[in-house]
Chains A and B, each alone.
Chain A
Amino acid sequence: MKDTADSYVTEDGRTIGPVVMEMKNITLRFGGVEAIKDISFDIREGEIRAIIGPNGAGKSSMLNVISGFYVPQEGEVWYKGARRPAMKPFEVAQQGIARTFQNIALFEGMSVLDNVMTGRLTHMTTGLFAQSLWKGKAEQEEIENREVAEKIIDFLEIQAIRKTPVARLPYGLKKRVELARALAAEPSILLLDEPMAGMNVEEKEDMSRFILDVNDEFGTTIALIEHDMGVVMDLSDRVVVMDYGKKIGDGTPHDVRNNQDVIDAYLGVAHD
């Protein structure tokens, strides 16, 4: 029923909307290696969608296809009811898809605030000349964007490091700053590449809280890759499971947990 209905309400009272993005029969090859083999799945508006799988399953490749970094050899990406042509990543960003990276890609020498402000780039229209003069429209625009950035800083509780250069921050905080930058773009879909990799239990709990709050407060659709099964099962509404580039499961955390293929992939099974 959930697969066909236009929208439905979850147990905890959130409304999940219609499909916003659909991957149709995606195949991605690097030379002779097939990283993704004929995978189809969809992402609904307002949901937290997880992509899981063992190392080398093709999860990050899948995320890169969504973010437009890789163009699949076969298959189609449908976004907001239209087929998306091959695009440059910045064009995808302009369409409202923002992401974070597995191995943090912030501007290390810049302050947290400046990093978050770069996330607002797609929302700025004044040119280089106007911004250098910083008069009239350019000034007004910066004030408006700063306001959005500050609300996100407040939301993620990073006020104390607002002016700190990113290079001086510990790993867990950098991850949070990266999330802040992605959020600053006010994306309709937020892609998180292993948001909890390398974190301790406490940092993971904080991050989970923030992800849930972002989804809850801004209604942002979130697609995330994660290794930590516990985290995935707690956070997500639906899960895609990948193994060796193939989709071996798709459904609610409960369904996936009881799927024999998934259990085999994670616990290992004798190959004959």
Chain B
Amino acid sequence: MATPLKRADGPQSVPALLHRNATKFANAPAYREKEYGIWQSWTWSQTRDEVEALALGLMEMGINEGDFVAIIGRNRPYLYWAMMAAEMCGAVPVPLYQDANAEEMAYVMNHCGARFAIVGDQEQVDKIYDVQDQLPEFEQMIYLDPRGLRKYDHSVLKQYANVQELGRQMRDKHIAELEARQAKLDYDSTGVMLYTSGTTGKPKGVVLSNRNVIETAKSSSEFDDLRQTDEILAYLPMAWVGDFIFSVGQALWTGFCTNCPESADTMHVDLREIGPTYYFAPPRVFETQLTNVMIRMEDASRFKKWLFDTFMAHARKVGPDILDGKPVSQWDRFKYKLGEAFVYGPLKNTLGFSRVRVGYTAGEAIGPEIFDFYRSLGINLKQLYGQTEATVFITAQPDGEVRSDTVGVTCPGVELKIAENGEVFYRSPGVFVEYYKNPESTADTKDAEGWVATGDAGFIEEGSGHLRIIDRAKDVGKMADGSLFAPKYVENKLKFFPNILEAVVFGNDKDECTAFINIDLTAVGNWAERNNIGYASYQELAQHPQVIAQIQEHVEAVNESVAEDEMLSGCQVHRFVVLHKELDADDGELTRTRKVRRRIIEEKYADIIAALYDGSPQVSTETEVTYEDGRKGSIKATLGVRDAKVVPVTAKKMAAE
């Protein structure tokens, strides 16, 4: 098969890479999906044919160069192909968060003026139907799963398979034009547009060129020696830049196979069946898995528990060193091998990590205990630091230099600088083109020389050259007495306790710090069951005196640890409240990637914050909640405000001055 798009200096666009792979790795698996209990698989040449059929169908439907195509749904090969097909037609794919509500979708689709939407199922079709009056430019929708859609008006609604069929029939009519459009694509044409989740304000459309996507995929694949035989599991939101780079960028560059789970609920079973060699998960996923392991070990027989505890203690001692290739005594090595046979091997198998060669976590700080747990098992888990505007990669940890408190050294081709106020700036081939229809924000973020502000405060560690991130730059503030206030630093320490799911620390311009705490229902619920503590609701469990007492212990432990850091000793939590509801993205309190939106929380819970500072022992409040289907309700609660012990720091401060 001819590859008309290949140039002397290598493929310059996503479709060109697809054509290359269809020839180079023709019969190697490209995409797999579990459906009807079986892993269905497509080779690279089949993938190219599927993508091309869809692209031809889109041409018949009248897609123009430069059109925007919204893509919404869970991770499925068909939707990845939809992105590639859009690019083949010279259009721009815009993946959206599938759990976004109708209004959020309306904003994004309106902002980019999407003419087409390719969606997963009835749920997404309904959402778009709800808001289509607000979308003057929107024309046609293509859906994958026909279930429940029989009775819908099919004048603007087509089934994916039918569009492909249409494309195959009309091949002769459109193929020349389709090839011409692909030939026009180069490094400077837009590869994809991704909307940032936005901790403040409206989402912004980040335009990434083919250069961004391909250069980043290339250098990061080389950094970690990714191979054509690698396997990944695609389960993170398609609208997130990481998933695009892993499941499309790197997959196309190296030719490895992307596996899609059967449904969100079967992710862990599917993970185990596939046994990925390259794996990415946010810290929360690792935390949940560890919590589950610990809960199950509590129920194990005494012998098994002893076996687990003994060998895990040994693994913590020598596991990371063995992984890093540092010298370890023969006896310890032998014991570790024994542990591998009895504990680590079976455990890794259960978790689906038996074959992980490169594992990454990013997005949030990961607790050192959690990080060490996985590394001690022999899983090469590393951290990276990146953002949408950088096409993911800014820094990453090379093998052998992995620590839980840094985010690694600069990736190939990336330059870093730290501004006077501590903000981290970078420049790389992955730097985004612009924010779509938003030149002011583009100018604010990216300067003329191509340096991009990350919005994070951090510093480069002397000696190792590793970057350490302290907090979001705009969240770092000053307390009333002038000492540094870094809420994230304290929140992360709190969140390392399995009982605490989320924490929000306040204290900017105040005399002392206070905090909101969300309990982790899995961990605390299990504890309650074990101790015969009955509860009827999340709210009741959260306000149980014994639960609050436990949280208080955690807060005080964190205070002791915070006090040891001279710069941040002022950030100890003096008073706290255990919240009556989980902070939720549907209520706007978190972003879709589950980052805390401070301004909104401060406004919404102003009454509770006031109680934290006026010394009252409890506070009554009423909170509006939004259900998943968009209905609203409210919950009333009386929350106890507790004082936590703090370590006096005045003495230290005096000594420092």
Scan residues 1-45 of chain B and give those whose CB is less than 8 A from a CB of chain A: 35-38
Q: Is the CB of B36 within 8 A of A147?
A: yes
Q: Is the CB of B150 within 8 A of A159?
A: no
Assembled-state Cα–Cα distance A213/B263 (Å): 19
Assembled-state Cα–Cα distance A233/B14 (Å): 53
Q: Does A255 contact B (CB under 8 A)?
A: no
The proximity string for A residues 175-196 relative to B, scoring 1 for CB distances below 8 Å and 0 otherwise, is 0000000000000000000000
The chain B residue sitting closest to A161, CB to CB, is B265
Scan residues 252-271 of chain B and give those whose CB is less than 8 A from a CB of chain A: 262-263, 265-266, 269
Assembled-state Cα–Cα distance A239/B37 (Å): 38
Specify which of B151, B262, B269 is in contact with A13 (CB 8 Å cutoff). B151
Scan residues 47-89 of chain A and give those whose CB is less than 8 A from a CB of chain B: none
Q: Given A159-B262, A160-B269, verify A151-B147 contact (CB < 8 Å).
A: no
Residue numbers in A under 8 Å from B38 (CB-CB): 150
Q: Is the CB of A153 within 8 A of B37?
A: yes
The chain A residue sitting closest to B264, CB to CB, is A160
Q: Is the CB of A216 within 8 A of B151?
A: yes
Q: Is the CB of A150 within 8 A of B148?
A: no
Q: Does A171 contact B (CB under 8 A)?
A: no
Q: Does A155 contact B (CB under 8 A)?
A: yes
Q: Is the CB of B265 within 8 A of A160?
A: yes
Residue numbers in B under 8 Å from A154 (CB-CB): 35-36
Q: Is the CB of B36 within 8 A of A216?
A: no
Q: Does A217 contact B (CB under 8 A)?
A: yes
The proximity string for A residues 103-136 relative to B, scoring 1 for CB distances below 8 Å and 0 otherwise, is 0000000000100000000000000000000000
Q: Is the CB of B151 within 8 A of A12?
A: yes
The chain B residue sitting closest to A213, CB to CB, is B148
Residue numbers in B under 8 Å from A216 (CB-CB): 148, 150-151
Assembled-state Cα–Cα distance A250/B150 (Å): 29
The chain B residue sitting closest to A152, CB to CB, is B36
Assembled-state Cα–Cα distance A113/B262 (Å): 16
Assembled-state Cα–Cα distance A150/B265 (Å): 16
The chain B residue sitting closest to A157, CB to CB, is B263
Residue numbers in A under 8 Å from B265 (CB-CB): 159-160
Q: Is the CB of B37 within 8 A of A162?
A: yes
Determine how close the nearest CB of chain A comes to the CB of B321; give it in whole angstroms. 39
Q: Is the CB of A213 within 8 A of B37?
A: no
The chain A residue sitting closest to B35, CB to CB, is A154
Assembled-state Cα–Cα distance A212/B151 (Å): 12
Q: Is the CB of B263 within 8 A of A160?
A: yes
Assembled-state Cα–Cα distance A113/B269 (Å): 15
The chain A residue sitting closest to B267, CB to CB, is A160
Residue numbers in A under 8 Å from B150 (CB-CB): 216-217
Residue numbers in B under 8 Å from A153 (CB-CB): 36-37
Scan residues 174-226 of chain A and give those whose CB is less than 8 A from a CB of chain B: 209, 212-213, 216-217
Scan residues 142-167 of chain A and give those whose CB is less than 8 A from a CB of chain B: 146-147, 150-151, 153-155, 157, 159-160, 162
Specify which of A13, A151, A209, A213 is in contact with B36 (CB 8 Å cutoff). A151
Determine how close the nearest CB of chain A comes to the CB of B38; give it in whole angstroms. 8
Assembled-state Cα–Cα distance A162/B150 (Å): 27
Scan residues 38-59 of chain B and give those whose CB is less than 8 A from a CB of chain A: 38
Residue numbers in A under 8 Å from B37 (CB-CB): 113, 146, 150, 153, 159, 162
Assembled-state Cα–Cα distance A14/B148 (Å): 12
Most-contacted residue by chain B among A12, A154, A157 (CB, 10 A): A154
Specify which of B36, B151, B266 is in contact with A160 (CB 8 Å cutoff). B266
Assembled-state Cα–Cα distance A12/B153 (Å): 11
Residue numbers in A under 8 Å from B148 (CB-CB): 209, 212-213, 216-217
Q: Is the CB of B147 within 8 A of A213?
A: yes
Determine how close the nearest CB of chain B comes to the CB of A119; give it in whole angstroms. 16
Q: Is the CB of B151 within 8 A of A159?
A: no
Scan residues 1-50 of chain A and give those whose CB is less than 8 A from a CB of chain B: 12-14
Determine how close the nearest CB of chain B comes to the CB of A206; give it in whole angstroms. 12
Determine how close the nearest CB of chain A comes to the CB of B151; give it in whole angstroms. 5
Residue numbers in B under 8 Å from A146 (CB-CB): 37
Assembled-state Cα–Cα distance A150/B39 (Å): 13
Q: Given A160-B263, A160-B266, verify A150-B36 contact (CB < 8 Å).
A: yes
Assembled-state Cα–Cα distance A243/B569 (Å): 75
Residue numbers in A under 8 Å from B35 (CB-CB): 154
Assembled-state Cα–Cα distance A209/B122 (Å): 12
Most-contacted residue by chain A among B37, B150, B151, B263 (CB, 10 A): B37
Assembled-state Cα–Cα distance A13/B152 (Å): 10
Residue numbers in A under 8 Å from B151 (CB-CB): 12-14, 216
Assembled-state Cα–Cα distance A254/B147 (Å): 28
Determine how close the nearest CB of chain B comes to the CB of A256; give it in whole angstroms. 24
Assembled-state Cα–Cα distance A121/B372 (Å): 52
The chain A residue sitting closest to B629, CB to CB, is A205
Assembled-state Cα–Cα distance A222/B349 (Å): 45
Determine how close the nearest CB of chain A comes to the CB of B494; give it in whole angstroms. 32
Assembled-state Cα–Cα distance A162/B36 (Å): 11
Residue numbers in B under 8 Å from A13 (CB-CB): 151
The chain B residue sitting closest to A216, CB to CB, is B150
Determine how close the nearest CB of chain A comes to the CB of B626; give it in whole angstroms. 15
Determine how close the nearest CB of chain B comes to the CB of A261; give it in whole angstroms. 34
Q: Is the CB of B147 within 8 A of A217?
A: yes
Residue numbers in A under 8 Å from B147 (CB-CB): 155, 213, 217
Scan residues 124-148 of chain B and give those whose CB is less than 8 A from a CB of chain A: 147-148
Determine how close the nearest CB of chain A comes to the CB of B338; give it in whole angstroms. 31
Residue numbers in A under 8 Å from B262 (CB-CB): 159
Determine how close the nearest CB of chain A comes to the CB of B271; give it in whole angstroms. 13
Assembled-state Cα–Cα distance A159/B263 (Å): 8
The chain A residue sitting closest to B268, CB to CB, is A160
Determine how close the nearest CB of chain A comes to the CB of B538; give it in whole angstroms. 15
Determine how close the nearest CB of chain A comes to the CB of B51; give it in whole angstroms. 24
Determine how close the nearest CB of chain A comes to the CB of B34; give it in whole angstroms. 8
Assembled-state Cα–Cα distance A217/B145 (Å): 12
Residue numbers in A under 8 Å from B266 (CB-CB): 159-160
Assembled-state Cα–Cα distance A13/B153 (Å): 11
11 contacts between A and B (CB under 8 A): A12-B151, A113-B37, A150-B38, A153-B36, A154-B35, A159-B263, A159-B265, A162-B37, A209-B148, A213-B148, A217-B150
Residues of chain B whose beta carbon lies under 8 Å from any beta carbon of chain A? 35-38, 147-148, 150-151, 262-263, 265-266, 269
Taking A13-B151, A153-B37 as given, write out 8 further A-B residue pairs in contact, using a Cβ cutoff of 8 Å, ordered by the A residue number: A150-B38, A155-B147, A159-B37, A160-B265, A160-B269, A216-B148, A217-B148, A217-B150
Q: Which 3 A-B pairs have the closest CB atoms?
A: A160-B265, A150-B36, A150-B37
